[in-house]
Structure formats: structure tokens, C-alpha cells
Amino acid sequence: MTLAQQANYPLPTPAMQAIIDKDTSRFFGDAPADAGPLATDLSPALTPAAIDKAMRKVADWQLPRTMRHLDKIWTSAVLFAGFMAASESSGDPKYRDAMLAMANQFEWKLRTPYPNADDIAVAQTYLELYFQQPSPERIAATRTELDSLINLKTLRPGDERQPWWWCDALFMAPPVWAKMYKATGERKYLDYVHTQWRVTYDLLYDQEEHLYARDASYKSKREANGKKIFWSRGEGWVMGGLARTLDYIPADDPQRPFYIQQLQQMAAKIAQIQGPDGQWHAGLLDPATYPLPETSGASLFVFGMAYGVNHGYLDAKTYRPVIERAWAGLLKNVYADGRLGGIQQTGAEPAFYLPSSSYNYGVGGFLLAAAELKKMAK
């Protein structure tokens, strides 16, 4: 019996349920009381065919739900990145074609003036589509917005917070800036990444635990067991952001080792605290308080570690067994219809949710993981 079939987990508090209800009303996903049976047709074998089957099953369940309620918000942006990866990995153009339709519907624009990291995340997909067919209008609006931000020392005029003041931002923003560097050849976009990532690192990276505080307010907070609060998805965002940014940093860039070292340190810590079932929990250092597996963080861990193995940053002999257990654990949360459960609702810290809980950003992480894992399997 899997954790997802057991009833011995804490239910969301009223405050947590309010967030779940809000996320559902915004079409990020949902958490039905009964999501039906779990999938029995998926194999955890690390073969291209088995991985591809799981990836398509989850992607095909999600795609029609997504296209009915398109949004430029970060939750959707992460999923769009996953669909792009799934299309490239599977060779099926339908996922990419859906993303092209999305971009055209939004006229290749971002959400707001002075966009924060969450608001520019959708441009990761705009830029990937641009690389496939370089057409200036595909990146024009994004470039204008980045140029409005590049000389700001703070989040925006009147807001004194640093641009990437929360760790999630390291997934959302740096890949956009790094891809813009590739698209334009203008070094200023990559220099911005180096400057701002270092600022966030200095503020949030815990040199003892080799994990990131979600934001500065969490540096003094503790779990019920007295340990520091490190949130599964928050750490996943950073590992995923490292993988998606490193691709665009030149091999001879003197800053490159800074990012590789973080990936190595974080991967070592994440591997150390992996559960016997191959899974992780919303509160990484307090699994007893959060007994359900959490799959959005786990998906991003698999993505980051597989990326590290594929590029020679992580030792394959050490990490392949970790990744293999993690992938098997993830598949235990896939339902017969393709729903990926075990995804915590939006927030800033560990919380309670139902096993059926499924949201678009977590599916995006899963698709990124599957695509990278398939490269490793090959």
C-alpha cells in the first residue's frame, strides 16, 4: 500500500484550505476527495520507452485542462516549460504547437510593467520558440521589459526588496535572462544573472545545510521538531533553475563554477535526506510532520540531478540510484487517468494537502524531469 492510499495524514487547516480553494478557482489545478485509482500501467524502469510512456500519460491528461484556461502567471509558465521539454523529448509537436498558440494569444507579452521574476517566467517559452524560429516580435516585448529592469538595484521603484528576494525566483527569472543573452549576444543580460544570483545566494543560502531559505523571514523559523524550515518545492526551484541556467553560461565563463558547486552541494544534501521509499516531504527536515510525499519538489530534484549526471557535474554511480528511487517514487503518485498527485498548493512553506492534489506547476516539473531522465536513459 502506498502513502497515497493511506488515510493517516493531516488534513489542510482552514487557512491552507482557503489557498487550495483559491488555486482551484484560478484553474491552477484541484484536489478532489477521490481521484480514482492509481496507475498500474507504468514501469519505473529507466528505459526511454518506459519514461516516455509516463511523460505522455501525464502530459496528455494536463494539456486539455491547460488550454481551456491559459494564463501568463508563473504557475502556467512552469508547465509551459515542461510542455516544451516534452515535445522535444517525445518528438510530438502537439505540445509545442499548443505553446505556440498560447504565445500568439498573449502576443508574446509579459504580465506587468516592472515585472518580477514570476511575471517574466513565461518568457522562457517565448525564447525557446524564438530559437526554433527566430522572429524579432517573439522576444521584443520581453527584451523591452528586461531593459527596464537591468539598471534597477531593487525589485521596482518604491519597493526596496532585492530583485530575487525569494528562492523561487531563481527558477523563474535567470533562465529568461540567460536565454536573452543567447538570443542577442549581449553580455549585459548574463552579467545581470551573475550579479543578482550572487545577491540572493548571499542572503538565502545556508552554508551549513547547503539549502536555500525560502526568503529571509525563514532564516529564524523552525519546524515542529526544532530543525530549520527547508521547503521541498523551494529547494526544487533552485535546483531546476541551476539546470536551466547553466545551459546558457559559456564554458569559459569564470562564474560558471559558482553554479556547478551549488548544484553539487544541493544534490548531495537532497540525496542524503531522501526517504527509503525514494520520496521527499514538504518539510524536508521534518518528514514526521508532513508524512505525504511531495512531488513538485521531487520532480525538480530528479530534473536537477539527472541534468547534473548528463553533463558530468554529478557522479553517475552515486546519483543514478538516487534518481532511480526518486522516479519510482514519483510514479506511485500518478493516477490511472494521468493525474499527477502529491503536489502541494501554492504558498511559501510546507503545508498539508490531499494525495490527489494536482497543480500545473508540479506537472511542469514532472515533464522537465522525464525529458531529462530520458536523456540519461539513452
Q: How confident is the model at residue 6 (pLDDT cuts 50, 70, 90)?
A: low
- pLDDT tens track for 315-345: 999 999 999 999 999 999 999 999 999 999 9
Cβ–Cβ < 8 Å for 204, 218: no
Annotated active-site residue in 23, 168, 215, 286? 168
Cβ–Cβ < 8 Å for 196, 164: yes
Q: If you average pLDDT over residues 147-166, what whole number do you get?
A: 95
Query: What letter would DSSP give residue 359?
Result: E
Domains of the chain: 57-70+162-377 (1.50.10.10)
The pLDDT score that the predictor gives to residue 3 is 42
The pLDDT score that the predictor gives to residue 2 is 44
The pLDDT score that the predictor gives to residue 5 is 47
Q: Which residues 6+ apart lie within 8 Å of 105 measured at CB?
A: 70
Cβ–Cβ < 8 Å for 32, 369: no
Residue 352 pLDDT exceeds 70: yes
Residue 308 pLDDT exceeds 80: yes
The beta strands (E) that lie in 10-119 are given as 29-30
Q: If you average pLDDT over residues 116-143, what whole number do you get?
A: 98
pTM recorded for the entire structure: 0.97
Does the annotation count 147 as an active-site position? no
Q: Give CA torsion, residues 57, 59, 60, 66, to 10 deg.
A: 150
The pLDDT score that the predictor gives to residue 252 is 97
- pLDDT tens track for 217-256: 999 999 999 999 999 999 999 999 999 999 999 999 999 9
* Average pLDDT score, the chain: 97
Residue 366's nearest CA partner among 348, 335, 146 is: 335
Cβ–Cβ < 8 Å for 299, 236: yes
Cβ–Cβ < 8 Å for 240, 307: no
- The rounded distance, in Å, linking the Cα atoms of 68 and 116 is 26
What are 165's strand-pairing partners? Answer: none
Cβ–Cβ < 8 Å for 44, 324: yes
- The rounded distance, in Å, linking the Cα atoms of 46 and 193 is 34
- pLDDT tens track for 10-26: 999 999 999 999 999 99
Cβ–Cβ < 8 Å for 171, 238: yes
